[in-house]
Structure 1
């Protein structure tokens, strides 16, 4: 055991955050801490780090063990560059290296006992240097920087000039390189793109120490953790397995608890009715029996009614009018900024009913493309057109659609003046704004609160084409699941940008990957994208160097496929793959049945039954005939 929390309690005023919370983490264990926004996750991490004091209980860290903490928001300052900032964590190795170089110089001029003493010291220090990975610390440092999405151009930038997200990545890099015995990470994936998150997953899986992660990224948790701690109504409960295992077990426990509660309530009501009836007889014997039952009833240990799922927003999206089948057509779109070319010759189409995820690394131009489609930015070249009766509803991750000086109530009432006060209050209550909350000024709201106001406006718009920029940012897991359910039941069309891979897997019917200044189309979910990414990127969006090499090898007739051809080719391949799976499944079924018939024919009561043998033989012949056809078809498809 490396870390133990025993009986931790914490309240802020009358609000109880943690109540007698106890748990422990083993060495090398990877564990998650989850719970709704405001449940106390960050508070617990800060108690462990002794940044705030618990009202009761204690935190015990194993002897001689180091703990490292990444807070959600970092403000790394100083004149050092990004590379130098990470290098500072290796100062002890740098000092060792300098001492080794100094010893090498001294040994050149030493002899006798002095040389022996220097050689012994040099051997000991070299061994220590090797144990600290001294010969590879620079490549380790470069690997972490590249993994976290820093380019070589970024290495020389002063950390004081970086954005908040970049500073958090620097802090994370320093923490990983310093290799504490246990890592406490508060939302480590918030400022990482998909490639960097995938790199971090692999890094943490192979990390030699323990890891304790607060995260709303369910895909990340599924990949990394083997234990989940949930804070629910001040209590900390442990679930073995990853996030998906936790979600399944949680649902089962809740169902069982609710059934036990209902059964007990039925029994209590039955006993109460019997007691009333016995008392109504008004005889000494019946009254004594009623009193005896009352005593038994009072001794029953009552099952608590399961706490309703934490106050959750209620989201229902439905278009007012149905759009035409062609919702969006983009042709040869291009956009550049000074010293940065984002994309060029981008073409794609979106049909009614599709839910399309636009993905790509940070800086590839995803948000820019959404702004172009919403008329907030002009493209440098190309065009786009909306289909018949298409009405856009836009969710902006920076919430520019909100007016900072207005109250929440004014934001809704000014946008939808026909709504009554009661209708507005009911709508806002569905998004957890009740009472005087509705008079909060937009500028005073947190990121999550602004997100809920934007979603409320989106729901009221009754649009049939939703364009969403990072809609799950600042949402807790419960709220993400509500949004997923709403989008999956929405009969309109959706185009969204997201880094939330679990959310993409749950909602996307198609993925557009913005990479190498081009877009690659994947007809499937995120898992399908991962499976085909390397193959399709190389084919449809090669790097400049790959494209040059490919052009040398291509004949004039083998030019790059058009967007429509690319889409049709992928659809054909996907259909072929599905057909192949069906054929393989049918072959397996028939071969299994054929073997069953062979086993049946040798049974004593069957082989002597002429009619039964003839029936099985005829079935066997049919199987063989169908198998012959399927084998041919399999060869064709494979």
Structure 2
């Protein structure tokens, strides 16, 4: 059944909502500053996408703005009712599903009681008309009398209508809990919305519903998302929480946040121009520094250079002139030294390296026209319907399908990591296959990225293509324990370990999840030139819309 048209797409809050304002927000964890002087204004009707590198503090900022965490310093002005959706929904495992809905509609039920009380008071005393009119206006703005039909439409549209209300929250999946929490949040109609990766567990129909809701929202909206299609469709602007890039490039005057107008496509254009300006400034500074060093060398040589010994009759004059010349030259040397020091201290760093893949190591035997893996009526009970698939040595394959269709299972079957319940898998002899899974786990959480990379790449390759040069792991994280890295940082490290020794067949399961927008785009571009076969399973609409190679739909 198609979801009903939601009334919130036609009706918005009648009252004027206040903006969401953050001034000078600071937040520190373990003595490390995560938010350092954040200033942000989200006005009513604005839908800002919050972007930035993994670990930049996006989730922290949302928690602070929502009041879940208190800032160490700074001031926040919020609208009366702020709705917040975290990535992982906190819940009482024994509580029924209905508790999420009841919490959401509690203000509506309270308003209903207040309206009834005001109507009763008005029947007795006509002077109570102001209180009744105020309650009636609020009830109409919140569409009080249709909340049950809106609830049903939201549950259907988000794909969770079939779960009985008495089902314990602990017995359903994390994705189902997230969709239920989103339905409850939209049903409650708060004045402002703060959303952390809201489309992580949504299929296309559910994303379309969310887009309609967000476009109709009259209050401030701030959403952290790696969903580039969503940002392009609904965002009125983007704010980039990445101070390291701005402080290095000198763009936008520094500060914690950089603001871009428009959606993600506009951001891509501006980011490309920013990198071009960054590279031009670095080149200009290097030229100026080279000239200053040359001037310093020339002045120093003049100061130390030989001079013809004076004759007796002009010894005094020569000594006097030479002293004056040496004094002037010394001043020039000091000035040149100061200029060089200032230029070296203020010089910009180069833009971060763009992700690139190195060639297949010597000794690999894969051929472009070879069959690497062949599946024939391969099936795994309750997880993968029978599928037949041939993968050649240079194939590019995109696997799509709804949640639960078996995309991850198919990749595991191609890799030979899961036994088949039926059908057959054949693979080329000597084939090397690597799977970049959604859930990355490292056997030794105390190991460092540098050590793991050197172990995977080998000493010679680690020297010629060091981990720091891949643009995946920040220099400050090279020697941290992998167990202390964020989910996104660990995923990037897992990708680096594949690049360390590129396989003949590279399988990627939802590769853009947990990656920054910039890295996701660079990864997709690099996959086009990968020296082997690539199979990608993804629900990413941006990636799917731009895929020009073979597609397998489950």
Classify the TM-score, shorter chain.
Answer: 0.7 to 0.9
Query: Contact (CA 8 Å) 1:32, 1:213: kept in 2 or not?
Result: yes
Change in CA separation of 1:153 and 1:444 when aligned onto 2, cut-off 3 Å = same
Pick from 365, 390, 394 the counterpart of residue 406 of structure 2. Answer: 365
Whether 1:316 and 2:358 are equivalent positions in the alignment is: yes
d(CA) in 1 for partners of 2:461 and 2:57? 33
Pick from 425, 438, 442 the counterpart of residue 397 of structure 1. Answer: 438
State the partner residue of 1:168: 178
Query: Contact (CA 8 Å) 1:317, 1:459: kept in 2 or not?
Result: no
Instruction: Report the count of equivalent residues.
Output: 500
d(CA) in 2 for partners of 1:415 and 1:290? 53
Spell out the pairing of 1:53-64 with structure 2 (5 A cutoff).
53-61=70-78
Q: CA deviation at 1:343?
A: 5.2
Query: Contact (CA 8 Å) 2:195, 2:223: kept in 1 or not?
Result: yes
State the partner residue of 2:540: 500
Query: Contact (CA 8 Å) 1:397, 1:471: kept in 2 or not?
Result: yes
**Which has the higher Rg, Structure 1 or Structure 2?**
1
Q: CA deviation at 1:24?
A: 1.6
d(CA) in 1 for partners of 2:46 and 2:265? 18
Query: Contact (CA 8 Å) 2:432, 2:505: kept in 1 or not?
Result: yes
d(CA) in 2 for partners of 1:249 and 1:414? 36
d(CA) in 2 for partners of 1:121 and 1:436? 59
Pick from 64, 87, 91 the counterpart of residue 72 of structure 1. Answer: 87
State the partner residue of 2:247: none
TM-score (norm 2): 0.74
Pick from 473, 488, 491 the counterpart of residue 432 of structure 1. Answer: 473
| Alignment deviations for residues 181-233 of structure 1 (CA, whole Å, 9 cap, x no partner) | 22111222223334433332232122222211112222221222121111222
d(CA) in 2 for partners of 1:12 and 1:124? 45
| Alignment deviations for residues 477-530 of structure 1 (CA, whole Å, 9 cap, x no partner) | 34323422331111311112122333445566122222xxxxxxxxxxxxxxxx
Q: CA deviation at 1:453?
A: 4.4
Query: Contact (CA 8 Å) 1:8, 1:58: kept in 2 or not?
Result: yes
- Ranked by relative contact order (alpha carbons within 8 Å, sequence separation 6 or more), the top structure is 2
> Which structure: greater helix fraction?
1
Change in CA separation of 1:289 and 1:33 when aligned onto 2, cut-off 3 Å = farther
TM-score (norm 1): 0.65
d(CA) in 2 for partners of 1:425 and 1:474? 28
Whether 1:85 and 2:100 are equivalent positions in the alignment is: yes
Whether 1:186 and 2:180 are equivalent positions in the alignment is: no
Whether 1:150 and 2:171 are equivalent positions in the alignment is: no
State the partner residue of 1:252: 273
d(CA) in 1 for partners of 2:421 and 2:392? 25
| Alignment deviations for residues 553-578 of structure 1 (CA, whole Å, 9 cap, x no partner) | xxxxxxxxxxxxxxxxxxxxxxxxxx
State the partner residue of 2:65: 48
Change in CA separation of 1:17 and 1:411 when aligned onto 2, cut-off 3 Å = closer
| Alignment deviations for residues 309-337 of structure 1 (CA, whole Å, 9 cap, x no partner) | 46887653637222344444444344433
Query: Contact (CA 8 Å) 1:358, 1:497: kept in 2 or not?
Result: yes
Change in CA separation of 1:100 and 1:449 when aligned onto 2, cut-off 3 Å = closer
d(CA) in 1 for partners of 2:462 and 2:29? 34
Where does structure 1 lack aligned partners over 5 or more consecutive residues? 107-112, 515-638
State the partner residue of 2:232: 222
Q: CA deviation at 1:358?
A: 1.0
Change in CA separation of 1:115 and 1:150 when aligned onto 2, cut-off 3 Å = same
State the partner residue of 2:8: none
Whether 1:3 and 2:20 are equivalent positions in the alignment is: yes
Where does structure 2 lack aligned partners over 5 or more consecutive residues? 1-17, 245-254, 304-321
